[in-house]
Structure 1
Amino acid sequence: MDYQKREIPTCEVCQKPANQTCGGCKLVFYCSRAHQKLGWREGHKLRCCAFKVQFSDTVGRHMVATRDIKQGEMILKEKPAAIGPKMASSVQCLACYKKLEPIKMEDNKTYDFYKCSSCHWPMCGPKCEKAEVHKAECKIMTDRQFKCTIKYETPDKIESAYCVIAPLRVLLMKESNPLQYENVLSLESHLDERVNTPLYTVLKANLVTFIIQVLGLHIDEETILKVASIFDTNSFEVRTPDGSKRMRGIYVTAAMMNHSCTPNTRHVFLGDEYNFALIATMPIAKGELITATYTQSLWGTLDRRRHLQTTKCFYCECARCKDPTEFDTHLGNIYCSMCNGPSGLNKGAMLMSTNPLDEGAVWKCEKCDHTILSKQMFWGNNALKGDLNKINKLNPRGFEEFITKYSQTLHPTNHLVIQAKLSLIQIYGNQKGYTLSELPDHLLKRKIDLCHELLEISDKIEPGWTRLRGTLLLDLQSAMTVETKREYEAEKITKAAAQDQLMESMTLLQEATNILRVEPYMRETLEAKIRELASQLEDKMEEKNGSELSVD
């Protein structure tokens, strides 16, 4: 019998036979612990990862797991290659990106923003105007005697002038950081598909003119528009939890991920440098695609695919998009008006797309022959979205009325209804006048029921340790804890039952903590909730069994 000679792995440092593997990427071997530490210091730290980037004719560049990845594991941490304001923005600082408020001028009568003393762009103050990220752009604008003309006019005015900043920062990299410049320019742009759109016609007039004529840079029009298109295709929206800072950043490695409407990762932005941290929401097997979503998971297929085509220049054809029921969530479905009318015989029958991958396909009832055109679905969706967007976000009444008003038209888990229900979860227990202590019992139960309903939906379309699941569990746990306390004080449940329910709340809270602990802004909140619930559990255990029991 012939035996194939087996290749013996060699040490990354000394090339001698090795039997110890890197615990991170599992791809590199060492002969000893000492050489593993040496190899780490000498550069493997920068190369070690749980993925590799591959290319195929069907999906282009994509990211694949090189080993089994655990749920909750951080797969990638990456600094932005370029970061800057969005194409149009309310007035914000060019260094820290904080939304700016006007200050009273010397005449004590008028208001305006603090301005950079050299280029006159609105900034936070002297510290931000001297920030490294602003130096190169400020110098070239100052050298060309350009002064920004943005001034305070009305609150929340959107300024289109910001469209020049992010592309300019990339273009200036050609001299300051040529390697990073080439990395960014190597990303897909889809410029051919964008160049004749109304937006890029405006960019030709504004961005190109600013770069070439105002700043005098010797860069051709195609390169300028390509950089703008690379931002549109690859950038991630970066925002702080409180919404006070919003920008867009290019992360070259993260941009290699493929999109999926049921992704297996989520991402957060860490620190003042807005480092991109990629988290596995599910276990990912070796060889499996690592995916992210470039749209909103709670949208229906029509809206998701239209958004992806408009912003990223592709139509998604994932398993969820192919399924007219969206994994039995019915996020995009509405009731058939014939079957559910006064004389209808098939109550609950729904209209579904005859071909979800063709946005022009007709929608047909699952029970009868009634059909409507896809454009009618678009019109109806847009009209109801308009109604939803007009609702006061601080008061639940409008959302409850929306759900009731369209209960005969929209399936209970239609994406518009789900968005209304998510708003209710955020109001009940959190807004002034509707805090948990103020909620009557029926609204407390309403919040709990809504949390359960949305958790069921999220398990199907966004499974695993997602931010949506984490926040829903946190809301559910808080409401269940208050409900338990009320039921016990009203003598509706025993001490033992109260303890069991609090233990269930603790289980939910610990899962929420596993999911959300990577979010820096959540750490203190989670720790406080665990201490509070542990204290309540300890009290109940002492009441039942005596003071010798405690909770670790």
Structure 2
Amino acid sequence: MNRKRNVDSVTRVIDEYLQRRNLKQEKPAWLIGKSPLGGLGIIANRDIEQGEEIFKDFPIILGPRVKGPNLFCSSCYQQNDLNYCSRKCGLPLCSERCMKFHELECALIRGKRTKEVSFMDENLFRIYTPLRSLLLDKDDRNVIAHLKYHTGKQHGFEIDELKHNDFVFEQEEEQFLRLVCCVMDANAFEVLVGYEEKFANLRGLYPLSSLMNHSCSPNTMHVFDKNHLMVVRASVPIKKGQDLCHSYARMIWSTPTRIYHLSRTKHFLCRCPRCSDPTEFGSYMSSFHCKACRGNVMPRNPLNLKSNWICEDCCTIVNRIDIANTLIALGSIIGSFDKENLDDMLKFLNGRLLQLVSSNHEIVVELKYRIVWIIGYKAGYEWTDIDEQILDIKKRFCEDLLKLNEQLRLGNSKMKGLLLYELYLCWIEKSRRFSSQPQNNEEITNIFKKAYEILKDDVSAPENLKNFVD
């Protein structure tokens, strides 16, 4: 597998793929080359401005995630009026139009399965995405063969599950399907269609984008438009010769959490500047307060999960097991909260938690992030329900998280765009309530414009944002 994978062959295959999708650029700001980070990468061939569109990419495979929370139409990905396929393949569909669009896939599933299914087969729904690769032509299959892939028994379990559920494959088909699973596990992106709870959780294989290397402070951001195109922009200014990087991990995770996640799911140890800095650019996202002096206790070696921790002020050593047990206890407390119980979250956040951890600890950040999307939206906390004190809490948390975004050198991240929009809504609500008091309307407008510039191509952006623009 992937025996002919080198700069020339991958460049040729990707160029041809973009040409077939009408996405080939006349003068791209990038090239495929050997990366100083290892292997192949996408390298800037000129300086790129912050916010500049770098490229667009189209998914060669797109479908449901194994662990997605919701069922949705297997053709259009919306959640209303679902019924099982009348031809008895087992997939959910929402309309006659989608039924017609689904014909080839339906025939493929029924041809490979030894029994008909007269119900919505949720198990099939969560594992059938790799099957879509069997509908690809020779050229697109060749693209997949030129992408990096993972190895290991855990990759390709979907095919074992399909066989267990009465699917039969020829040997060559099964080998290709297992390769597809290995490639998708290495490269697939999470694709959200919709906003808030009304979303479909997909995974998409984007061939060009899959060549970007990882950084926990990436220099690009990406969104997905209504046609599932990935739009990649520079989140910060990028110099000629730099790798274009994205992140496989959540930006608001601390280094130990990211390193564990990346080693388990992507099988590499990240050594990016953020991971290598015990303070995470001065954010102290993983640090605890020292019991002896109240200084910051951090990993002695952040790249080693087995490293003991040390106070940067008094040099007290703390056993990593004690740190792990404290995290488990805190996680258990947070897990016990009702996801929409604002009072419990605020009480914990302003009480015991901040006595133990830094103000930017990942648990604090996670709670603030969660609270931002409770206030204004959830029952009992909608804009007309909340008092000025709760409104100010949301505004302050937005500002705190935006400051952290800058501290982590994330630039125009999607998180920044969403937070700017929520901050804008806070100011709009304040203006509505206190119309007699002077407001800085220019500043409020600029906050909205910044949010729009970041999220303007994003199909999952808040509906109100898109409506304002339209």
TM-score, length-scaled by structure 2: 0.85
Check the 8 A contact 2:133/2:180 in 1, yes or no: yes
Report what 1:392 is aligned to: 338
Q: Does 1:518 align with 2:457?
A: yes
- Post-superposition Cα deviations, 1:281-302, rounded to whole Å, max 9, x if no partner, equal 1222222211111110000111
The offset of 1:530, in angstroms, is 8.6
1:364 pairs with one of 291, 295, 310? 310
Give the Å deviation of 1:415.
0.7
Q: Which has the higher contact order (CA 8 A, sep 6+)?
A: 2
The secondary structure found in structure 2 opposite 1:453 is helix
SS in 2 for 1:130: helix
2:394 corresponds in structure 1 to 447
Instruction: Give the aligned residue type for 1:251.
Output: Y
Deviations 1:75-100 (A, max 9, x none): 11121111122234444332223346
How far did residue 72 of structure 1 move? 1.7
Matched, 1:143 2:123: no
Q: Deviations over 1:423-442 (max 9, x none)?
A: 22222233343334443222
Cα gap change, 1:362 to 1:205, in 2 (>3 Å)? same
User: Structure 1: which 5+ runs fail to align?
Assistant: 1-39, 103-112, 153-157, 340-345, 532-552
Residue identity over aligned pairs, in percent, reads: 27
Aligned to 1:188: 148
Matched, 1:98 2:78: yes
Tell which deviates more after alignment, 442-451 or 386-395: 386-395
Q: Give the letter for the 1:168 counterpart.
A: L
Distance (whole Å) between structure 2 residues aligned to residue 391 and residue 291 of structure 1: 36
Q: Is residue 276 from structure 1 mapped to residue 230 from structure 2 by the alignment?
A: yes
Pairing 1:237-248 to 2, within 5 Å after superposition: 237-242=190-195, 243-248=198-203
Contact 1:238 1:249 in 2 (8 A): yes
Give the Cα separation in 1 of the matches to 2:118 and 2:65: 16
Q: In the alignment, does 2:338 pair up with 1:412?
A: no
Relative distance call for 1:57 and 1:429 in structure 2 (3 A) is: closer
Contact 1:399 1:423 in 2 (8 A): no
* Alpha-carbon spacing, 1:47–1:147, altered in 2? closer, same or farther (3 Å): farther
CA 285–171 in structure 1, closer or farther in 2 if over 3 Å, else same: same
Give 2:448's aligned residue. 509
CA separation of 1:375 and 1:150: change in aligned 2, threshold 3 A: farther
Cα displacement string for residues 439-472 of structure 1 (whole angstroms, at most 9, x for unaligned residues): 3222222222222211110112253222211222
SS of residue in 1 equivalent to 2:302: coil
CA distances 1:244-291 after superposition (whole Å, capped 9, x unpaired)? 2111110100101011111111111112x4111112212222222111
SS of the counterpart of 1:240? strand
For normalisation by structure 1, the TM-score amounts to 0.73
CA–CA separation in structure 1 for the residues paired with 2:131 and 2:374: 41
State the distance in 1 between where 2:134 and 2:330 align.
42
Q: Which structure 2 residues correspond to residues 398-547 of structure 1 after superposition, within 5 A?
A: 398-403=344-349, 404-484=351-431, 486=433, 489=436, 498-499=438-439, 501-520=440-459, 522=461, 525-526=464-465
Partner of 1:254: 209
User: Is residue 264 from structure 1 mapped to residue 219 from structure 2 by the alignment?
Assistant: yes
Alignment-mate amino acid for residue 201 of structure 2: R
Q: RMSD across aligned C-alpha pairs, in angstroms?
A: 3.0
Structure 2 unaligned residues grouped into runs of 5+:
1-18
User: Which residue of the partner structure matches residue 231 of structure 1?
Assistant: 184
2:298–2:312 CA contact under 8 A, matched in 1: yes
Match of 1:309 in 2: 263
- The amino acid that maps onto 2:424 is Q
Deviations 1:323-343 (A, max 9, x none): 11111111111112x22xxxx
Is 2:135 the counterpart of 1:167?
Answer: no
Query: Residues 465 and 142 of structure 1: is their aligned pair in 2 closer, same or farther, counting only changes over 3 Å?
Result: same
In 2, the alpha carbon distance for the partners of 1:121 and 1:234 equals 25
User: CA 1:513 to 1:83, structure 2 compared with 1: closer, same or farther past 3 Å?
Assistant: closer
Asked whether the 8 Å contact 2:51–2:233 carries over to 1, the reply is: yes
Q: Among 286, 293, 298, which residue is 2:247 paired with?
A: 293
